[in-house]
Amino acid sequence: MRYLETFRLIEAVARAGSIRKAAEDANITASALNRRIARFEEEFGAPLFERLSRGVRLNPAGELVLRHYLAQRSDLARVKSQVADLSGERRGHVSIACSQALLPYFLPEQIALYRREHPGVSFGINVRDREAAERDLENFASDLALVFEPVRLVDFEVIHSVTQAVCAVFSPQHPLASRDELRLRDCLDHGHIAPSARYGVRSLLDIAAKSRHRRVDPRVETESFELIRHYVLHEQLVGFQIAIGLRPDSGICFRSISERDLPRGHLLLGQMRSRALPVAALRFASQLATELERLSESEPPSVR
Amino acid sequence: MRYLETFRLIEAVARAGSIRKAAEDANITASALNRRIARFEEEFGAPLFERLSRGVRLNPAGELVLRHYLAQRSDLARVKSQVADLSGERRGHVSIACSQALLPYFLPEQIALYRREHPGVSFGINVRDREAAERDLENFASDLALVFEPVRLVDFEVIHSVTQAVCAVFSPQHPLASRDELRLRDCLDHGHIAPSARYGVRSLLDIAAKSRHRRVDPRVETESFELIRHYVLHEQLVGFQIAIGLRPDSGICFRSISERDLPRGHLLLGQMRSRALPVAALRFASQLATELERLSESEPPSVR
DNA sequence: CCCTGCGGTGCATTTTTCGCACCAGTCGTA
DNA sequence: TACGACTGGTGCGAAAAATGCACCGCAGGG
């Protein structure tokens, strides 16, 4: 939409931190861009940028305007998607910010399932830690977020919520593989590999350990749950991950940690608060909610 | 904002039902307007208007686009108001769709009270029956609605709710003026003047009467509650109105109808669902909520 | 000190938009 | 039936807006 060009350029300038850089990226001259912004500021009635000696930066008014633009853009996308829908095309795009645990099984299956019914709908999957996922929603960079134990929850509107047990993962040769019920102390007594503090799994572990005057003290710490799953096959360490990212077939052994020690965490499906989603995102969200519910019902009985 | 010009013109065309008429209103030639719309439709990817032999009319896609524009415009107003607010100007505008009963006392007092604190804030008061008030919210024509017994309540987000008794009004010479408790049958047995069916007061009366196998059968029927209040001084009829629009000083006599016969109705303060209000509207709404609450607490005890 | 990179400005040029004149179609009516 | 009064759509030259180029003043760093 051509009429949003000025906003696009303002966003580019805000990102680049400099009019000249943004102009170069946009293949126009700096003077043109400069004028455009000056005109907009005049019409709007207030400057959007602070002029610094080495560039420009959005002022609070500019932040508000940029935010307004992002909301506009996403709402326009929703309108287009609805129009396409009512002309029978059933096209659209869904972007999801999700935690790593959803990558191996759940999301691929769900997306494939959805696309079998609606081949015109394309998907974008953004892997994010829980804070970045929330930021993605706020910036309208993702339509949906599927996050384990999100932190702030301002502007995060919960669409559906299920609980997930934290599991210990290890190789079949690990001493714990023969154990029946797994207590937290069993895991902490063995050498372990853990995700870094940004992740919900680690945060739950830290809290539970602290209340028992223990510490999570990993031999290996990483951001990648995929690495955790593979590493335990090479060294006898205990890894941690939530149940939805684990299946019995993959050659590794896992068992949920007793809920007496470690409460189940929350896997939340959410969107930007009070935003109207495109039809495709809405339908996919409702499929996800159904499937999450089904999945949590089929689990072994536990505190929900 | 110049970049919204095309949307403004689309709205004008939709209202006028004809490109030429809209062009004349907008002081441009029809050809220019025609091209503008054609360009927009091409860029948007779908036509917005049905071409009829005597003009044009929005198609469903056009309806969606127009609605998007209204939402965008109101959000821009909110942004501007916030920017003005953070630069310390404390300006703004609040538009209210309200029932007639709020006109004589409540709203004037509330607006004056608010404007004493914020002289920069201007007001627009749109008198609407309950259906039109809801339509006003949906079209972003009013920020707030203060309505007695609204009907549909889709897209109507309730900010605050108080109950109101329906009162009978009559001249001090009327036989009922000496009565202590007023039953519905007393009113219906006398000649009465009533608002038309669009209004909440009438609808409550009709329902209560019907369940007692009686009928509201007014000698005079009107849309104007002001006329009702004045008419009862000229002929011995019983009028009806909710309590908030009545004060003891005005030379007419009123008494609430026994709640055994007529349940209290709901006076609702609301806004368009999941819309971000400008700061001024938000503050004024919160003042209204407080005052409505105070007012309903100071009333004689009754079912709430 | 000069050199580089920044935002801002005057002016000619290009792109976009607009106004005028006109066409084709439809509908009501004389 | 024919004609006038509408409608939306189009070709083309004029007006307006946006842009590119060359340049200015300024601040910071080697």
Output the pLDDT for position B301. 44
Q: Residue A233 has which token pair?
A: 């096959």
Which residues have a Cβ under 8 Å from the Cβ of B45 and sit 6 or more positions away? A80, A83
A8 and A130 together in one domain: no
CB A59 within 8 A of CB A47: yes
In a domain, A77, yes or no: no
CA B76 vs CA A65, A73, B65, B200, B249: distances in Å: 8, 13, 16, 34, 44
- B251 in the same domain as B234: yes
Contact B68 A75 (CB under 8 A): yes
In sequence order, the β-bridge partners of residue A253 are A170
Residue B151 shares a structural domain with residue B36: no
Mean residue pLDDT across chain A: 90
Q: Shortest Cα distance from A79 to chain B (angstroms)?
A: 6
What is the distance between the alpha carbons of residues B67 and B88, in angstroms, rounded to a whole number?
32
Same domain (yes/no): A124, A139? yes
Q: Are residues A52 and A120 in the same domain?
A: no
The pair of three-digit structure tokens given for residue A242, joined into one six-digit string: 């939530």
Is the Cα torsion angle B170, B175, B177, B181 positive or negative in sign?
A: negative
Does A177 share its domain with A46?
no
Instruction: Inform me whether the pLDDT recorded for A301 exceeds 50.
Output: no
CA dihedral sign of residues A204, A205, A208, A210: negative
Among B75, B80, B87, the residue with its CB nearest the CB of A71 is B75
Q: State the pLDDT at residue B299.
A: 67
Residue of chain B nearest A64, judged by CA positions: B79
Residues of A in contact with B45 (CB under 8 A): 80, 83
Is the CB of residue A68 inside 7 Å of nucleic acid strand C? no
pLDDT (0 to 100) of residue A304: 29
User: Mind listing the pLDDT tens digit for each residue in B48-105?
Assistant: 888 887 788 888 888 899 999 999 999 999 999 998 888 777 788 999 999 999 999 9
Residue B61 in domain: yes
Contact B284, B114 (CB under 8 A): yes
**Residue B64 is nearest to which of A44, A60, A83, comparing CB atoms?**
A83
Same structural domain, A195 and A284: no
Split at pLDDT 50, 70, 90, the class of B142 is: very high
pLDDT reading at A164 higher than 60: yes
């920017």: which residue's tokens? B83
Q: Does residue B81 belong to any structural domain of this protein?
A: no
CATH of the domain at B157: 3.40.190.10
Residues of chain A with Cβ-Cβ distance to B72 below 8 Å are 72, 75
Burial of A251 (0-12, 13-18, 19+ CB in 10 A): exposed
* Closest-approach residue (CA) in chain A for B61: A83
Q: Does B70 touch chain A (CB under 8 A)?
A: no
Please state, for a pLDDT cut of 90, what percent of chain A lies above it. Answer: 63
pLDDT at A114 over 50: yes
Domain presence at residue A27: yes
User: Domain limits at A240?
Assistant: 166-263
Number of domains in chain A: 3
Two tokens, residue B270: 């609301």
Burial of B152 (0-12, 13-18, 19+ CB in 10 A): exposed
Whether B59 has its CB under 8 Å from any CB of chain A: the answer is no
Model's pTM, two decimal places? 0.81
Q: Are residues A124 and A96 in the same domain?
A: yes
How far does B290 lie from chain A, in Å, by closest CA? 25
- Output the pLDDT for position B304: 29
Nucleotide nearest to B18 (CA to C1'): D7
Give me the residues of A, 150-169, that contact B with CB < 8 A. none
Helix B106-117 vs helix B279-297: angle between axes, to the nearest 10 degrees?
130
Q: Give pLDDT, residue A288.
A: 97
Mean pLDDT over A239-245 rounds to 95
Which tokens is A7 given? Answer: 């906003």
- Rounded Cα distance between B26 and B15, Å, is 12
pLDDT (0 to 100) of residue B303: 33
B87 contact residues in A (CB cutoff 8 A): 46, 61
Q: Which of B66, B82, B109 is the last residue of a domain?
A: B66
CA distance A161 to B115: 45
pLDDT confidence band for B302 (50 / 70 / 90): very low
CATH number of the domain enclosing B34? 1.10.10.10
- Binary contact (A80, B44; C-beta < 8 A): yes
Output the average pLDDT for chain B. Answer: 90
Cα–Cα distance for residue pair A211/A234, rounded to 1 Å:
31
> From the Cβ of B54, is strand C under 7 Å away?
yes
> Does the pLDDT at position A298 exceed 70?
yes
- As beta bridge partners, residue B265 has B164
Helices (H) and strands (E) in chain A, counts: 10, 12
Task: For residue B246, give the 3-state DSSP assignment.
Answer: coil
d(CA B13, CA B144): 27
For B71, nearest residue in chain A (alpha carbons):
A72
Question: Are the CB atoms for A268 and A99 separated by under 8 Å?
Answer: no
Please check whether residues A179 and A50 belong to one and the same domain: no
**A100, pLDDT greater than 50:** yes
Q: Rounded mean pLDDT of A85-99?
A: 86
Could you report the per-residue pLDDT of B114-130, keeping only the tens digit for each? Answer: 999 998 899 999 999 99
Task: Specify whether A20 is located in the same domain as A51.
Answer: yes
Please answer yes or no on whether A61 and B83 come within 8 Å at the CB atom: yes
CB < 7 Å to strand D — which of 2-41 in chain B? 2, 18-21, 30-31, 34-35, 37-38
Considering only CB atoms, B43 lies closest to which of A2, A46, A71, namely A2
Say yes or no: A65 contacts chain B, CB-CB below 8 A: yes
**Contact pairs from chain A to chain B, CB under 8 Å:** 55
CATH of the domain at B174: 3.40.190.290
Interface test with B, best of A80, A91, A155, A275 (most B CBs within 10 A): A80
Whether residue B191 has pLDDT greater than 50: yes
pLDDT in tens, A134-160: 999 999 999 999 999 999 888 999 999
Check if residue A30 sits with its Cβ under 7 angstroms from strand C: yes
Nearest CA distance, B4 vs chain A (angstrom): 8
pLDDT digits 0-9 by tens, A203-240: 999 999 999 999 999 999 998 999 999 999 999 999 99
pLDDT value, residue A270: 96
User: Has residue B304 been placed in a domain?
Assistant: no
In angstroms and rounded to an integer, the radius of gyration of the C-alpha atoms of chain B is 23
pLDDT of residue B185 exceeding 70, the answer is: yes
Q: Which pLDDT belongs to residue A286?
A: 95
Q: Do the Cβ atoms of A3 and B1 come within 8 Å?
A: no
Q: Is residue A74 domain-resident?
A: no
Determine the average pLDDT of the residues in B131-143: 94
Question: Sorting pLDDT into bands at 50, 70 and 90, what band is A299?
Answer: low
Residue A109 domain flag? yes
**What are A170's two structure tokens?**
């290890």
Those residues with Cβ within 8 angstroms of residue A87's Cβ, 6 or more apart along the chain or in another chain: B46, B61
| Strand D nucleotides within 7 Å of a protein CB | 6-11, 18-23, 27-28
Please state, in angstroms and as integers, the Cα–Cα distance from residue A169 to each residue in A238, A296, B146, B204, following that order: 6, 20, 59, 66
Whether the per-residue pLDDT at B300 is higher than 60: the answer is no
DSSP H stretches of helix in chain A: 5-16, 19-26, 30-44, 60-86, 106-117, 130-138, 184-189, 200-211, 225-231, 279-298
C1'-nearest nucleotide to the CA of A33: D19
CA at B15, C1' at D12: how many angstroms apart?
31
Per the CB < 8 Å rule, is A6 touching B4? no
pLDDT value at residue B15: 84
Question: Does A282 lie in the same domain as A207?
Answer: no
Which chain A residues touch B276 with a CB distance below 8 Å? 274
Q: What is the spatial distance between Cα A214 and Cα A188, in angstroms, rounded to a whole number?
A: 8
| Radius of gyration of the CA atoms of chain A, in A | 23
User: Do β-strands A121-127 and A92-98 pair in parallel, antiparallel, or remain unpaired?
Assistant: parallel
Provide the 10 A C-beta neighbour count for residue A281.
24
Please indicate if any CB of chain A lies within 8 Å of the CB of B65.
Answer: yes
Task: Report the alpha-carbon distance of residue A56 to residue A258 in Å, rounded.
Answer: 54
Check whether residue B173 and residue B253 sit in a common domain: yes
> Does the CB of B38 have a partner CB in chain A at under 8 Å?
no
Task: Judge whether A152 lies within some domain.
Answer: yes
